[in-house]
Amino acid sequence: MHQTFDAALEINLLHANQQGADHNRSHFDEWGITCLNVMSSPGAGKTALLERTLAELNHELRMAVIEGDMTTELDADRLRQYNVPVIAINTGRSCHLDARMVAGGIHQFAHQYNPSDFDLVFVENVGNLVCPAKFEVGEHAKVALLSVTEGEDKPLKYPVMFQEADCLLITKLDLAPYLDVKLDRIVENVRQMNSHVTIIPVSAKTGEGLSQWFDWIRSSLSHYTMQNLPISASMSLGG
Partner 1 sequence: MHETDMTKALILTVKDWWESQPDRPTISHVYLTVGQFTCVEPASLQFSFEVQTRQTFLDGAKLVIQETPLIAFCHHCQQEYHPEIGIHYACPTCQSPMDDIRSGRELKIDRLEYTSQPPIPLP
Ligand X SMILES: Nc1nc2c(ncn2[C@@H]2O[C@H](COP(=O)(O)OP(=O)(O)OP(=O)(O)O)[C@@H](O)[C@H]2O)c(=O)[nH]1
194 touches partner 1 (CB under 8 A): yes
Q: Which does 171 bind (CB under 5 to 8 A by kind): partner 1, ligand X, Zn ion, none?
A: ligand X
Residue 67's DSSP bridge partners are: 88, 124
Helices (H), 58-98: 74-80
3-state secondary structure 117-173: HCCEEEEECCCCCCCHHHCCCCCCEEEEEEEHHHCCCHHHHCHHHHHHCCEEEEECH
209 touches ligand X (CB under 6 A): no
Give the closest residue to 203 by CA, choosing from 49, 56, 83.
49
Residue 19 Cβ vs partner 1, minimum distance, rounded to whole Å: 9
How many CB atoms sit inside 10 A of residue 44's CB? 25
Give me the amino acid identity at 9. L
Could you give the string, one character per residue 105-144, with x where binding to Zn ion holds by CB under 5 A and - elsewhere?
Answer: --------------------------x-------------
Stretch that binds ligand X, among 12-20, 88-96, 100-108, 202-210 (CB under 6 A): 202-210
Q: Which residue among 94, 108, 149, 212 contacts partner 1 (CB under 8 A)?
A: 94
Stretch that binds partner 1, among 10-18, 25-33, 48-56, 168-176 (CB under 8 A): 10-18
Determine the Cα–Cα distance for residues 237 and 233; give it in Å rounded to an integer: 11
DSSP state of 178: G
Q: Which does 37 bind (CB under 5 to 8 A by kind): ligand X, partner 1, Zn ion, none?
A: none
Give the closest residue to 199 by CA, choosing from 125, 156, 143, 149.
143
171 touches ligand X (CB under 6 A): yes
Binding site for Zn ion (CB under 5 A): 46-47, 75, 95-96, 131
Binding site for ligand X (CB under 6 A): 40, 42-48, 75, 127, 171-172, 174-175, 203-205
Binding site for partner 1 (CB under 8 A): 1-17, 93-96, 98, 128, 130-131, 133-135, 156-157, 159-160, 163, 191-195
